[in-house]
Structure 1
Amino acid sequence: MTALTRFLTALWAVFLVFAAAGPAAAQGADVSLGIADFDNSQPVEITSESLSVNQQAGNATFEGNVIVGQGEMVLTCDRMVVEYGADEGGRNDIRVIWLYGGVTFVGPSEAAEADSATYTLADETIVLTGNVLVTQGATAISSDRLIYNLQSGSGRMEGRVKTILNPGSN
């Protein structure tokens, strides 16, 4: 599985299943997340107004109306920076993916948005920052920051967490 596919799969997990602990508007809430049946073998398509690659710095920058799609999942943002470097075998591997400006993720019945997001492959962590909003059906949770660990399959919402639960609507 490519790093970008792992990133999209992880984002998919964030938006598919979430349950917050604690009262609405708490300072922090643990989030338990799960991955539904997602076909990550589908091709990943990236569209942008421009792409610049800096081999010396080891990064690629997609700018302007960036759209990343895989199957029914779509991720959009203003700018996406992909940092890469050679692994022990000399292959280029993605190390970190940064998303900036109007980061939005949409699945068939889920959506999320944030001002920015970072996926660090070494520690398998995704961090959504700034005006984070995750919705599934009529249920929504918002905060200043969401930290999600791929290895443990769980995350934590931090900073003025607000939860809206609509029983029986999902």
Structure 2
Amino acid sequence: MDRLWATWRMAYITGKHKDTGCVFCNAPKSTKDEEVLILHKGSHCFIIMNLFPYNNGHVMVIPYRHTSDITTLTDEESFEMMKFVRIMTKAIKKSLNPEGFNIGMNIGRPGGAGIADHLHMHIVPRWTGDTNFMPVIGETRVISEHLEATYNKLYTTLQEELKNDKNI
């Protein structure tokens, strides 16, 4: 029998990962970006890996300001969000070589937002055949690389992209 070990998911299953307050407001206050999986901090937004990813390389771009209403984003917040989506997508392409992406927002609980009180845009790399029976039958996703290894790949490539981007 094959065994699938994803012990880091136990915190999610048991709910022990939940902090007090907004996780998206708390994360950028940390002085240890790598521990909270922050890849980059900008003036209005930051890029963070999803602690409970749908796929390897699943990241989010999040405004610092706590809002659940996309219509309240300032032009600066909106611009930086999309700039980070563009740059992060490039970095993921170079680091992980996905065949496609899901990029978007789930707004409000009925819209599918797991954290409905703070806007965030998902960037989910996709590969042909990356879905299987596990999420349907076992309510489990198979993530083939440890978060720390993926973080290191993405961080390094993102730093190169930020350095080379003429629009920053």
Q: TM-score, normalised by structure 2?
A: 0.31
Considering fraction of residues, name the structure with more strand.
1
Considering fraction of residues, name the structure with more helix.
2
Q: TM-score, normalised by structure 1?
A: 0.31
Q: Which has the higher contact order (CA 8 A, sep 6+)?
A: 2
